[in-house]
Amino acid sequence: MEYKRYNLSVETLEPFRIGAVKDIMDIADNPIATVGGKSVIQGPSLKGALRAEVERYLIAHYGDDKRMRPCIPAARNTLSPDEELLIKKGMYREGGACQYTAKVQSSSICPACYLFGAVGLPGFVRVPYLFTNAPIEELYSVRVDRALGTVVDRTNRDYQILPNGSIFTGVFEVLLQDPRRDWKLGQARPIGKDYPNFHGDDWLDGWNTEGVLKKLIEERLTSINLLGGFKSKGCGKVKVTIVP
């Protein structure tokens, strides 16, 4: 197995939080996510932000190429009316999440699922947890009754937040080659031989390893500018840097 590893740095440009379930032993009503006493950006949060950037790039630059359209990674019967409308507009593939199982095969695997994994098929990207040593701050929040101009009873809450200037770090990994499966990043995988209607990774025509790394991973990572919660309250702006 051969990997390319990126040292990532995420600097918060505004107050920042990713929430966690309240611990009954913790005085904060709305704690932030921690592991081993350190605040974290969880892998799924970073993965979701990165996938969103990949989807935006594909829609903006390859909107007329059906092979390049991303899927909406959800079961077909759970798609919302708004998601159905995006599919109708030709921005996303029909049918929900890409799948490659014995019972169901999508017509092919979209570029986003090629990287991050489809139902029944792993991808090439491993997204880490990012850690910071920044101190946690406690803030206080209430809800005001607009008609009366007074604080609504029992709406006072403590919540935790990290200050702007906090630095999260971690190592992001991309699989370059898996000799056992005969997989190589930027090349179509030898899958689907038993399913004549499955076209595998057909979108890769004209792509190579360097192009996938640069356009779909490196540039998309550094284009992430929002993470975490409380965005409507002025939180979440970040700067993502690949550290040499």
**pTM (two decimals):** 0.88
What is 141-177 written as a DSSP string? E--EETTTTEEPTT--EEEEEB-TT-EEEEEEEEEEE
Cα-Cα end-to-end distance for the chain: 22
Q: What is the pLDDT of residue 24?
A: 46
Contact criterion met (CB below 8 Å) for 100 and 198: yes
| Eight-class DSSP state of 119 | B
- Residue bearing tokens 């190429």: 65
Count other C-beta atoms under 10 Å from residue 75's C-beta: 12
Helix (H, G, I), strand (E, B) or coil at 219: helix
- Tens of pLDDT, residue by residue over 61-114, are 998 999 999 999 999 899 999 999 999 999 999 989 999 998 889 999 999 999
Report which secondary-structure segment, H or E, holds 183.
Answer: strand 183-184
> Do residues 32 and 174 make contact, with C-beta atoms less than 8 angstroms apart?
no
Which residues, in sequence order, are bridge partners of residue 38? 35
- Report the C-alpha gap between 52 and 68 in whole angstroms: 14
Q: Please tell me which residue, 7 or 146, carries the higher pLDDT value.
A: 7
- For residues 71 and 98, what is the distance between their CA atoms, to the nearest angstrom? 6
What are the tens digits of pLDDT across the range 160-177? Answer: 889 999 999 999 999 999
